[in-house]
Structure 1
Amino acid sequence: MSEDVQDLLDGLIQQLCPDWSCEFPGPLAPDHERFELIAAKRMQVARVLRRRPDRAAALSEQVLATIVADEDSSCNRQLVAPLVTAIGRSAVLAGLLSYARSGSPAQQAGAARGWYWAQPTLVYPTRADLDNRRPTAASQAEWDEMADLCRAFRIACLTAFLATDDVRARADLAMRFTLNPEDYPPELAAEVDEARSIAAGDPQRYRRLLTDTTEAGLSQLGARPLRPVLPDP
């Protein structure tokens, strides 16, 4: 069974900032309480990890477990970014790949959500460079360096998609692989066809998978920050 993200955040808080307490100006609505508590705890943990990359590195396995347990596909980046800074992008991607290969369906889906923010970013200096797909040499080099991990993750997500009947997990996993046979070794042709058949049976849910030839990626135009910086209090 997958661990609860709030329990994992509580464990990190005990090790990073045991004197911190979560306070709100007024009572929380019952249907919003869990969401608000998780958001506050996530932000506090992220602040400490940003300030203390040594602690982020020492607790990297716990941070990674928290990332894959986090169901918020936007705010999970608050933990992904400091972990990438602390231990390096390839180590984070390798950890997410391990979850995609051997985790529970919920953890596999969480790895797919986390991968979006951990993957390398292609940077384009100008709009013309973006239109003509001319990224900077440095960002292209990092992209190329991670290519094997990205291919392995694509295959892991395809495999996990076929192995589960969990519709929510499948929806997240479907963002991280394609149905392009050229993206896979020939021996996986039957698996690609099976995934296509599943997607065709629910075309609204899997519209991106059926129409796009690449999985969702990240790009950056010029010096504009791709991800908002988490403010200090």
Structure 2
Amino acid sequence: MFSEELQDVIDALLGHACPDWPLPPRVATAEDDADQRRYERIEVTRLRLGRALAEQPELTARLSATIFEAILLEDSVTDQLIAPLIAAIGRRVVLEQLIDAVSEGPCERRVRAAQAAYFVQHWRHPQESVLFRSAYAEGARSSAELQSYVARHLPPRAGGIDAVGDLWPRFWQVCLTAFVECDDAEGRRLLQTAFPNELECYPAEFTGLLEQARRIAAADPERFQRMHDQSVGYGYRI
């Protein structure tokens, strides 16, 4: 779905990140295929912005608040903006901000924040792909050999900047809460993968909330198949 607000934020960020890049013309609502063309403009400008941010981590850190706002306006979640943001300020800060965003506000914004956390869990250092190819060229073949090579050659990151293991339980709690509070079938479908459907993952005070979530899922087993399979939970099973 097209968002004028998202396009405004992306265009403003492009003015900082690559001021010499000519912006594509905006598409008027009355034009033929306006919805599709406006969506395509977001795709093009977001891709260009992501590349520019990846090349300028210090600028990305300075613009982090606005970048985060763009992420929370994005229905079709990708890692094009969140990956350079993590590279610049670390997985921990980003996940803490996402936890806060899932905790309150409009349901669609809470859902987007929860979805974005997938990329925190699966973020890779920008140089990893190059290093894996180098490792293979130098004879590494097993997973252990490849991982060892990459670990030795990755540039160091500040201690604790990417440590998120202790944050996932709090993330699950706010996602479970959002699942119960947000009375929207599609939002709940998207949220179901974010938190585990297993009692041992929560403090005792969340038992009742998890039971409510399970009743919601039981009433629509096809929509919530992932919850029934217990193949859910960022930082846990995903």
TM-score by length of 1: 0.76
Q: In 2, Cα distance between the equivalents of 1:96 and 1:118?
A: 10
2:208 paired with 1:190: yes
Which residue identity lines up with residue 56 of structure 2 in the other structure? Answer: R
Comparing 92-101 and 3-12, the one that deviates more: 3-12
CA drift of 1:151 comes to 0.8
Q: 1:146-185 deviations in whole A, cap 9, x for unaligned?
A: 2221111110000011111122222221110122001101
Aligned counterpart, 1:69: 73
Which residue identity lines up with residue 173 of structure 1 in the other structure? Answer: L
Q: Secondary structure at the match of 1:4?
A: helix
Aligned counterpart, 1:179: 197
Aligned pair count reads: 203
CA contact (8 A) 2:168 2:235 kept: no
Structure 2: gaps spanning 5 or more residues = 26-30, 129-140, 152-159
Aligned counterpart, 1:82: 84
Aligned counterpart, 1:229: none
Q: In 2, Cα distance between the equivalents of 1:43 and 1:89?
A: 21
2:166 paired with 1:166: no
CA drift of 1:126 comes to 5.0
Picking from 74, 87, 96, the partner of 1:94 is 96
Which residue identity lines up with residue 90 of structure 1 in the other structure? Answer: R
Which residue identity lines up with residue 4 of structure 1 in the other structure? Answer: E
CA contact (8 A) 1:93 1:119 kept: no
Which residue identity lines up with residue 30 of structure 1 in the other structure? Answer: A
CA drift of 1:29 comes to 3.7
RMSD: 3.1
Q: In 2, Cα distance between the equivalents of 1:60 and 1:187?
A: 34
2:211 paired with 1:210: no
| Higher RCO (CA-CA < 8 Å; seq separation 6+) | 1
Comparing 202-211 and 28-37, the one that deviates more: 28-37
CA contact (8 A) 2:195 2:232 kept: yes
Picking from 22, 41, 48, the partner of 1:44 is 48
Q: In 2, Cα distance between the equivalents of 1:156 and 1:11?
A: 31
Structure 1: gaps spanning 5 or more residues = 130-134, 220-233
Comparing 86-95 and 144-153, the one that deviates more: 144-153
Identity rate of aligned residues, in percent?
34
Which residue identity lines up with residue 170 of structure 1 in the other structure? Answer: R
Aligned counterpart, 1:224: none
CA contact (8 A) 1:97 1:152 kept: yes
Aligned counterpart, 1:146: 164
CA drift of 1:34 comes to 2.0
Aligned counterpart, 1:32: 36
Which residue identity lines up with residue 109 of structure 1 in the other structure? Answer: V
CA contact (8 A) 1:13 1:45 kept: yes
Q: 1:25-73 deviations in whole A, cap 9, x for unaligned?
A: xx98434112211101101111110111011000111111111211113
Q: In 2, Cα distance between the equivalents of 1:6 and 1:169?
A: 22
Aligned counterpart, 1:17: 18
CA contact (8 A) 2:50 2:80 kept: yes
